[in-house]
Amino acid sequence: MTFNDIFKSSFLENVTSISIVDMVLSMVLAFAIGLLIFFVYKKTYAVVMYSSSFGVTLVALTMITNFVILAVTSNVVLSLGMVGALSIVRFRTAIKEPLDIAFLFWAIAAGIVLAAGLIPLAVFGSVLIGVIILLFANQKTSVNPYIVVIRCDGQESEKKATAYLAEQTKKCVTKSKSVRKGEVELNLEIRLKNDDTAFINALSDMKGVESAVLVSYNGDYMG
């Protein structure tokens, strides 16, 4: 092998397999779409506490996916090796909110489509998805669900409490019931007739009712 053969290696040939203009344009667009995903997530997050780290992850994930796919599309052999390398990666972070999964797939898909050179599809698709999520994710229903937790001292007070709730609300459904000696605990899903929650005060003052708690409820009951 001569000195010239070293510089004819396939490694050095890969340097020019993707032009600088393509790399810069693709990464800049990936960053811009990542910011769009981050903005939509910030406006529509449904968890109790907003996670800024997850939002930054969405931007980074779009860009990382983009340059990985750029490398894969430039070399068939590299693509096979990349599949094998990524197959050993395992993620242990639990995704508690279903909408967060959509954001993750959105970021990955945007990076892939951009790296494939389908820029109009990536831009139009991302804008359309963002508008749809903004329209539906924060949509407020006319009847918000609530959970009422009642502690009673017996069966008679339980019947009176549930009957009173049924009169004061549009819907009253028992979700769970826990019975201990001298105490009954009920979890009921209710739908309010209006925004007035004064009936909880009257419920807690009823004879035999030890406590009554009203909790805002997102509809995902875990029994």
Interatomic CA distance for residues 212 and 203, integer angstroms: 7
Interatomic CA distance for residues 150 and 168, integer angstroms: 15
- Domain of residue 159, residue span: 145-216
Same domain, residue pair 150 and 117 = no
Q: Do residues 126 and 37 lie in contact, with contact meaning Cβ atoms separated by under 8 Å?
A: yes
Cα→Cα distances 80→9, 14, 149, Å: 20, 16, 56
* Number of compact structural domains in the chain: 2
Task: Say which amino acid occupies 108.
Answer: I
Q: What is the pLDDT of residue 31?
A: 92
How far apart, in Å, do the first and last CA atoms of the chain sit? Answer: 71
Same domain, residue pair 8 and 105 = yes
Of 117, 137, 157, the position where a domain reaches its end is 137
Answer yes or no: is 222 within a domain: no
Of 102, 137, 172, the position where a domain reaches its end is 137
- Rounded to two decimals, the pTM is 0.59
Same domain, residue pair 81 and 179 = no
Of 90, 105, 137, the position where a domain reaches its end is 137
Interatomic CA distance for residues 187 and 158, integer angstroms: 12
Same domain, residue pair 130 and 173 = no
Interatomic CA distance for residues 104 and 197, integer angstroms: 38
Same domain, residue pair 100 and 181 = no
Answer yes or no: is 18 within a domain: yes
Answer yes or no: is 223 within a domain: no
| CATH number of the domain where residue 185 is located | 3.30.70.260
**Mean pLDDT per 10-residue run, the chain (223 residues)?**
50 58 86 91 71 83 85 63 56 70 88 86 90 78 74 84 84 84 84 79 84 72 41
Q: What is the pLDDT of residue 32?
A: 92
Same domain, residue pair 114 and 210 = no
Q: Where are the alpha helices (DSSP H) in 7-153?
A: 10-13, 20-44, 52-74, 76-86, 98-115, 119-137
**SS3 state at 222:** coil
Residue-wise pLDDT for 117-136, tens only, equals: 888 898 999 999 989 988 88
